[in-house]
């Protein structure tokens, strides 16, 4: 047992007195971000709840407490029920379509071929272009007079000029268009998520399964799928949250029309709360998103926890 | 022979599949390009084949955009908003990401996850109360409201992203600096920050593209034409009554999308590993 060296005394620094303890420094460093988020996310969230149980409007900003009356008003409105149903159709329709496209796309892109990088860059375009601008481009594609799809149908002799579809003017077609655009926007995201998951599966695991006699399907569904499930779930959660609460696509494409056929929660909240200035009812409508978001968040937490342990 | 036939059929199917996906993804973008450079007479003539130029391409729409509309102003607004938001994000998210990465307790981890989860709180839930707060602050109808609000989603996202970068940085480097006489804070500023410059660059790119992509807050808070950022201006301001100026709209959309598309494409893998947080190791 010999003493090898004595530590040299640290020269005093200006910050030493404040930050000589790790925990104090960490708290100090994380504080600005936490305060910003508390003030501009936490506080508004509480305010939203508060507005929803008051009679607050832009024109009459008095804070009278009315309990759950706003929520009851909303539920009793048949238009709102339609909006709620639309939101679910829009969310699950577009996520399903996006996932199917994503799975096939990933399957194709998994194999190396010349020009794969360029192909990938082109395929991710829908996800990287600002969604508002992409939606405007789609509106032009679905134009009632100059729609290129209709032009093609007529040119190929499939349809007559008299009975071409009015994409954004027919209720079910408008809903289909909104779903297609959102699926179009998210499928590259699904592809990239699938690819990231599959390439992260260690090759030796797959080899071992092959040696043990697992065939193509068994490898796919009993080895690879369970291993990429966490990353897929996280991708899906993102898709669901951002679709369920979306406003841009509906606002720019259909304005909720025709006759409310594509009105979704985000759009209804915007119309009532911002356009009509009825903040109380608008906030109540927006808060209907919260239960869905909470379920999604709980899922996410569980998956992140599983990863960290 | 039979095997050769089925093999080439398989190959054909494969490339047809790839072509299908490329067309599906890129066609609206192609349509933007072709509309932006077409003469109006060509654009609005249904007897022309719409897929290519029947008249020679023109710069008329782009010229109109810069001379007769506030397009240049919107570009400038977006640039200012992007730079300010990036500055705010860097100042808050870099220290936060570092501290979150170095916290060893369970509490630190929970804090990190909580901050990240706020990224998932949607604008459509917050826009009503935020619009009241902005009105109270006297910022309604001003682009500065967006500078104030955009960090609510860039800070959580970038803190999380940077946390990953700092975690990958060996803590021994900082410890060595401390042994050599650096303070804890000095080790962060002089060692950790320079070594994580690639991560910080990623954050700058993302903050910028996220502000360019945002639409809901801009739509809610800003209605004065000269205060609009580019995405909002192009999507809502080039329409007079029922008339859409399609050539100008598509030209504007094209100019605004191209830089975002390129930047995002280059950093997409980092974006994905950022949001999945390495769910698969």
Cβ contact A130–B124 (<8 Å) = no
Cα angle A172, A175, A181 (rounded to 5 degrees) comes to: 140
Chain B residue nearest residue A184, CA to CA: B25
Range of the domain at B40: 2-58
pLDDT at position A44, please? 92
Same-domain status, B35 and B174: no
Domain assignment of residue B64, yes or no: no
Same-domain status, B232 and B101: yes
- Per-residue pLDDT reduced to its tens digit, A104-113: 898 888 888 8
Domain assignment of residue B88, yes or no: yes
pLDDT at position B281, please? 37
Mutation to test the B interface, candidates A6, A41, A104, A161, most B Cβ within 10 Å = A41
pLDDT at position B170, please? 83
Q: Using alpha carbons, list the distances in angstroms from residue A60 to A68, A279, A280, B139, B148.
A: 19, 10, 11, 20, 26
Partner residue opposite B276 with nearest CB, options A145, A151, A234 = A234
Same-domain status, B45 and B136: no
Residue B188's CATH number? 1.10.3720.10
Question: What part of A 29-58 touches B (C-beta under 8 Å)?
Answer: 29-30, 32-34, 36-37, 40-45, 47-48, 51
- Report the distance separating Cα B148 and Cα B157, nearest Å: 16
pLDDT at position A101, please? 93
Mutation to test the A interface, candidates B118, B122, B181, B192, most A Cβ within 10 Å = B122
- Report the distance separating Cα A105 and Cα A110, nearest Å: 9
Domain assignment of residue B264, yes or no: yes
Residue by residue, DSSP assigns B60-112 as HHHHHHHHHSSHHHHHHHHHHHHHHHHHHHHHHHHHHHHHHHH--SHHHHHHH
Q: Is A167 on the interface with B (CB under 8 A)?
A: no
Domain assignment of residue B109, yes or no: yes
- Residue B269 contacts residue B215 (beta carbons within 8 Å): no
pLDDT at position B279, please? 45
Average pLDDT over residues A187-197: 88
Taken in order of first residue, the domains within chain A and their CATH numbers are 78-308 (1.10.3720.10)
- Residue B230 contacts residue B66 (beta carbons within 8 Å): no
Q: Is A68 on the interface with B (CB under 8 A)?
A: no
Partner residue opposite A36 with nearest CB, options B108, B155, B188 = B155
Q: Please say if the pLDDT value at position A305 is more than 70.
A: no
ipTM: 0.87
Domain assignment of residue B251, yes or no: yes
Same-domain status, B73 and B148: yes
User: Among B16, B33, B58, which residue terminates a domain?
Assistant: B58
Partner residue opposite A137 with nearest CB, options B98, B133, B253 = B253
Partner residue opposite B231 with nearest CB, options A22, A124, A130 = A130
- Report the distance separating Cα B89 and Cα A3, nearest Å: 48
Mutation to test the B interface, candidates A12, A133, A253, A276, most B Cβ within 10 Å = A133
Partners of A237 on chain B (C-beta within 8 Å) are 120
Same-domain status, B50 and B85: no
Could you tell me which of B220, B229, B238, B276 has the C-alpha nearest to residue B256?
A: B229
- Per-residue pLDDT reduced to its tens digit, A235-265: 888 888 889 988 999 999 988 878 888 899 9
Partners of A197 on chain B (C-beta within 8 Å) are 280
Partners of B121 on chain A (C-beta within 8 Å) are 41, 45, 293
Cβ contact B151–A104 (<8 Å) = no
Cβ contact B277–A307 (<8 Å) = yes
Mutation to test the A interface, candidates B103, B128, B130, B254, most A Cβ within 10 Å = B128
- Per-residue pLDDT reduced to its tens digit, A24-59: 888 888 889 999 999 999 999 999 988 888 888 877
Same-domain status, B77 and B144: yes
Partners of B47 on chain A (C-beta within 8 Å) are none
Region of residue A260 (left: phi > 0; alpha: psi -120 to 50; beta: else):
left
Partner residue opposite B235 with nearest CB, options A132, A197, A247 = A132
pLDDT at position A36, please? 92
Domain assignment of residue B281, yes or no: no
Cβ contact B155–A132 (<8 Å) = no
Cβ contact B95–A32 (<8 Å) = yes
CB-count burial class (<10 Å; 0-12, 13-18, 19+) for A90 = buried
Mutation to test the B interface, candidates A10, A11, A37, most B Cβ within 10 Å = A37
User: Among B10, B39, B58, which residue terminates a domain?
Assistant: B58
Same-domain status, B30 and B98: no
Same-domain status, B48 and B114: no
Same-domain status, B6 and B54: yes
Q: Which H or E element spans position B268?
A: helix B246-276
Partners of A83 on chain B (C-beta within 8 Å) are none
Domain assignment of residue B111, yes or no: yes
Same-domain status, B251 and B272: yes
- A258 preceded by a cis bond (ω within 30 of 0): yes
Same-domain status, B129 and B214: yes
Same-domain status, B52 and B91: no
Chain B nearest CA to A213, separation (Å): 25
- End-to-end, the C-alpha distance of chain A in Å comes to 39
Average pLDDT over residues A87-116: 90
Partner residue opposite B185 with nearest CB, options A25, A135, A136 = A25
Q: Is B276 on the interface with A (CB under 8 A)?
A: yes
Cβ contact A125–B43 (<8 Å) = no
Q: Is B232 on the interface with A (CB under 8 A)?
A: yes
3-state helix, strand, coil in chain A (%, to 5): 70, 0, 30
Mean residue pLDDT across chain A: 84
| Residues of chain B below pLDDT 50 | 278-281
Chain A residue nearest residue B92, CA to CA: A33
Q: Is B212 on the interface with A (CB under 8 A)?
A: yes
Cβ contact A41–B148 (<8 Å) = no
Cβ contact A230–B279 (<8 Å) = yes
pLDDT at position A151, please? 85
Domain count for chain B: 2
Domain assignment of residue B258, yes or no: yes
Which pTM was predicted? 0.86
């Amino acid at each position: 047992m010999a003493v090898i060296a004595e530590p040299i005394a640290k020269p005093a620094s200006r910050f030493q007195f404040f930050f000589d303890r790790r925990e104090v420094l960490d708290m100090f460093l994380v504080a600005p971000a936490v305060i910003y988020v508390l003030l501009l996310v936490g506080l508004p969230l509480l305010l939203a709840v508060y507005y929803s149980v008051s009679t607050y409007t832009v024109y009459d900003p008095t804070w009278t407490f009315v309990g759950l009356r706003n929520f009851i008003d909303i539920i009793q409105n048949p238009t709102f029920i339609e909006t709620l149903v639309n939101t679910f159709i829009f969310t699950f329709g577009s996520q399903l379509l996006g996932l199917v496209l994503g799975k096939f796309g990933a399957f194709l892109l998994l194999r190396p071929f010349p020009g794969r990088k360029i192909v990938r860059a082109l395929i991710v375009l829908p996800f990287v272009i600002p969604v508002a601008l992409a939606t405007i481009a789609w509106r032009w594609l679905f134009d009632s007079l100059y729609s290129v799809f209709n032009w093609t149908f007529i040119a190929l002799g499939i349809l007559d000029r008299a009975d071409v579809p009015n994409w954004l003017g027919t209720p079910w077609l408008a809903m289909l268009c909104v779903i297609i655009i959102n699926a179009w926007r998210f499928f590259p995201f699904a592809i990239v998520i699938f690819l990231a998951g599959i390439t992260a599966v260690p090759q030796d695991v797959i080899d071992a399964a092959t040696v043990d006699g697992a065939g193509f399907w068994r490898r796919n569904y009993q080895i690879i799928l369970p291993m990429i499930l966490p990353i897929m779930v996280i991708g899906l959660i993102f898709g669901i949250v951002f679709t369920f609460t979306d406003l841009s696509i509906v606002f720019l494409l259909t304005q909720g029309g025709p006759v409310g056929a594509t009105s979704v929660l985000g759009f209804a909240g915007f119309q009532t709360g911002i356009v009509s200035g009825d903040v109380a009812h608008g906030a109540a409508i927006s808060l209907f998103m919260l239960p869905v978001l909470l379920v999604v968040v709980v899922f996410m937490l569980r998956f992140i926890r599983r990863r960290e342990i | 022979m039979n095997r050769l036939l089925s093999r080439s059929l398989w190959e054909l199917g494969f490339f047809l599949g790839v072509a299908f996906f490329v067309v599906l993804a890129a066609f609206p973008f192609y349509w933007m390009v072709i509309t932006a450079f077409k003469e109006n007479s060509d654009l609005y003539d249904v007897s022309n084949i719409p897929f290519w130029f029947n008249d020679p391409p023109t710069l008329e729409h782009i010229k109109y955009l810069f001379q007769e509309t506030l397009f240049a102003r919107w570009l400038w607004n977006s640039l200012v908003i992007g730079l300010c938001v990036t500055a705010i994000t860097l100042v808050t998210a870099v220290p936060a990401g570092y501290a979150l990465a170095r916290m060893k307790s369970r509490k630190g981890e929970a804090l990190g996850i909580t901050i990240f989860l706020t990224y998932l709180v949607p604008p459509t839930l917050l826009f009503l109360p935020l619009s009241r707060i902005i009105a109270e602050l006297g910022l309604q109808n001003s682009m500065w409201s967006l500078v104030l609000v955009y960090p609510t989603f860039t800070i959580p996202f970038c803190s999380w992203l940077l946390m990953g970068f700092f975690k990958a940085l060996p803590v021994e480097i900082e410890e060595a600096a401390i042994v050599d006489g650096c303070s804890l804070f000095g080790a962060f500023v002089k060692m950790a920050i320079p070594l994580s410059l690639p991560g910080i660059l990623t954050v700058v790119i993302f903050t910028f593209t996220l502000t360019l992509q945002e639409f809901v807050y801009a739509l809610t808070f800003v209605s004065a034409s000269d205060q609009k950022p580019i995405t909002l201006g192009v999507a809502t301001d080039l329409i007079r009554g029922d008339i859409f100026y399609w050539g100008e709209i598509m030209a504007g959309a094209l100019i605004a999308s191209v830089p975002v598309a390129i930047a995002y494409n280059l950093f997409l893998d980092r974006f994905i590993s950022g949001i999945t947080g390495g769910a698969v190791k």
